[in-house]
Amino acid sequence: MHLWKNVVIERLMIPLLCFAAGMAQSRADDPPKAKQLAPPTQFRAEDVDGDAGTAIDLFWTLSPDDEEDTKPRKVLRYVISRKQIGGSEEAVVLESGSPFVFEVEEKKPEFEEIGEATYRKDTFRDSNCETGVPYLYRIQAFGPDNAASPTVELKEPIIATLQWFNLQRSWFAVFVFLICGAVIVFIEMARRGKTLKIRKIAGLEAIKDAVGRATEMGRSCLFVPGIQDINDIQTVAGITILAQVAKTTADYRATLEVPTSRSLVMTTARDTVEAAYLQAGRPDEYNEDDIYYITDEQFGYVASVTGKMVRDKPAACFYMGAFYAESLILAETGNSVGAIQVAGTAMPTQLPFFVAACDFTLIGEEFFAASAYLSGEPQQLGSLKGQDFGKLIGGILLLAGCLIMTISAFESRGEPPAEGKETVLQSAQIYLKENILGKGGFKP
C-alpha cells in the first residue's frame, strides 16, 4: 500500500506538476486582460431649460473607482456617446463607370462619441442637438491601460425642446421691466411739468467755466470722445455730451477740436456738432475740419493727440468716453500744458488715473447723467430719477438679502442643515440668490 501510494503519487505528481507549470507559462505569455472598472450610476438626462432646443444636460454619479485620493487614478475620463432614435442616415454612393446611377444606402444609426468629461466631473452638456429629435445617450468610464467600465445607457431617449421664452431669465425680465418702466414713468412725469430736483455735480458745473476760460485766453477746447467705436454705449454717451459742450463753445465762440479714433465716430460727431452750432444760431462758426479722424490704433491716436496738445496748448480738455491705458498719457499731457481737464468714463480701471490727473472727473454713472444734466431738459432729468429708482431697488434688495442671511445664520448657528429640510429663512436666502438674482426662474 505504502509502495503503491508512493509509486502512484510519484507517477502522477510529475505529469501534474508539468501540466501546472505549462499552464502557468501559457498564462504568463497571454496578454494581460484590460481591467474592468465599476460603471457610473444614476445616469440621467434633462432638456436644458430656456434654450432654442439645441442642448441636453447629462448627469451621473461617479464611478466608485473614481476616488479623489486614489493615486494613480483608476478612472481618467468618461466618454459620452449618442445615438439618434427613429431616423436613419442615408448615404449616396456613386456607381463606378456610370456617373448617373445613384445607389442609396440606408445606414442604421449607431452610437457616436460626442465628447468626454474628465475624472471627478459628473455633468456634461451636449450643445449640438437638433430640436425635436430623440436621442439615446451612453456613458463609459475609462482608465489607464485600456481599463474600461461597462457602458451605461439611458432607459429612454430624450428630446431637446424649443422654449419660446427663456424662463431662466424670468426674474431678470422683471428687473428690466421695473427699471426701464421707472425711467419711462419719470420721463413722462417730467414731460407733464412735474419739477424734479437734481443735485449739483461739480464736474459738469465746471464745463461752462472751462470753455469761458478758453475763450478769454484765445485758446481752443479739445474734446476726446474715447477710443472705441459707436457700438460702445460710452461713445454714444460721449457724443451726447459733445452736443452740449459744442452748444457752449458755439455760444462763447470758442474753437472746439474733436480728434477721433474711429471713422464712424468722426461722422457722428460732425453731425452732432453741426446740429449744436445750428441750434445755437451760429452755423458760420462750424468748421467740419475741426472734427477729424487720426487713426484707429490706440497709441498712434494718443501719440498724435498729445503732440497736438503740446503744440497747440488747448485751455480746456474734455475726455468723455471709453478709454484704456492711454487715459493717463492724455491727462498728464493736458496737465503739463496747464489745461483745465474734465473727464468722464465708465471704465472702472481708468477712473483712478483720471481722478488723480484731471481737475474734475465724472465717475461712472455721473458720466451717463452728464448729457441730461447739461441739457437741463426736464424729460432728460426725469431719466436721472429713474436711475435713482433702480439704485433704490438694488439697495433694498441688497440690505434685505444681507439681513435674511444674517438672521438665518443666527437661527441655524451650530446646527448642521438637514438635507431637504431648510428653514423659511434659508429657503428665502436660496431663492433670492439662485432665483431672483440668479438663473433659477420663478420656480423655487
Instruction: Scan residues 305-344 and list those touching other proteins (CB under 8 A).
Output: 306-307, 310-311, 325-326, 328-329, 331-332, 335
Q: Does 173 bind other proteins (CB under 8 A)?
A: yes
Contacts to other proteins from residues 417-436, by CB under 8 A: 432-433
**Residue 75 beta carbon to other proteins: minimum distance, rounded to whole angstroms:** 31
Distance in Å, CB of 250 to other proteins, minimum = 11
Handedness of CA 70, 74, 77, 79 (dihedral sign): negative
Q: Distance between CA atoms of 412 and 429, rounded to whole angstroms?
A: 13
Give dist(CA 20, CA 140) in Å, integer. Answer: 37
Answer whether 401's CB lies under 8 Å from 433's CB.
yes
Q: Which is nearer to other proteins, 209 or 271 (CB)?
A: 271
Q: Restricting to residues 260-279, which ones interact with other proteins according to CB under 8 A?
A: 262-264, 266-268, 270-272, 274-279
In the complex with other proteins, which residue's Cβ is closer, 219 or 270?
270
Stretch that binds other proteins, among 32-40, 95-103, 213-221, 349-357 (CB under 8 A): 349-357
Q: Identify whether the C-beta of residue 417 lies closer than 8 Å to the C-beta of residue 426.
A: yes
Judged by CB under 8 A, which of 87, 132, 144, 283 binds other proteins?
283
Binding mask 215-254 toward other proteins (x if CB under 8 A, else -) reads --------------xxxxx--xx-xx-xxx----------
Q: How many CB atoms lie within 10 A of CB 443?
A: 9
Task: Collapse the DSSP code of 345 into the 3-class scheme (helix H, G, I; strand E, B; otherwise coil) and give the result.
Answer: strand
Q: Quick one: 66 or 290, whose CB is closer to other proteins? A: 290
Distance in Å, CB of 435 to other proteins, minimum:
11
CA-based torsion, 122, 127, 131, 133: positive or negative: negative
DSSP 439: S
Beta-carbon contacts of 165 under 8 Å, excluding residues fewer than 6 positions away, are 50
- Binding to other proteins, residues 133-172 (CB under 8 A): 162-166, 169, 172
**Per rule CB under 8 A, is residue 189 in the interface with other proteins?**
no
Is the Cβ–Cβ distance between 350 and 323 less than 8 Å? Answer: yes
C-beta closer to other proteins: residue 157 or 438: 438
65-69 contacts, C-beta under 8 A, 24 or more apart: 65/37, 65/38, 65/141, 65/143, 65/149, 66/40, 66/119, 66/120, 66/141, 68/120
Q: 204 near 370, Cβ under 8 Å?
A: yes
Binding segment (CB under 8 A) for other proteins, from list 27-35, 85-93, 142-150, 302-310? 302-310
Q: Binding residues for other proteins, how many (CB under 8 A)?
A: 128
**Closest approach of Cβ 117 to other proteins, in Å?**
24
Is 195 among the residues that bind other proteins (CB under 8 A)?
no
Listed ranges 8-16, 81-89, 108-116, 370-378: which one lies at the site for other proteins (CB under 8 A): 370-378
Kindly state whether residue 45 participates in binding other proteins, applying the rule CB under 8 A.
no
The residue to which cell 467600465 is assigned:
149
Q: In a 3-state reduction of DSSP, which class is residue 1? A: coil
Give the x-and-dash track for 371-390 against other proteins (CB under 8 A).
xx--x-x-xx--xxxxxx-x
Angle at CA 257, nearest 5°, toward 254 and 261?
A: 165
Candidates 44, 53, 151, 185; binder of other proteins (CB under 8 A) is 53
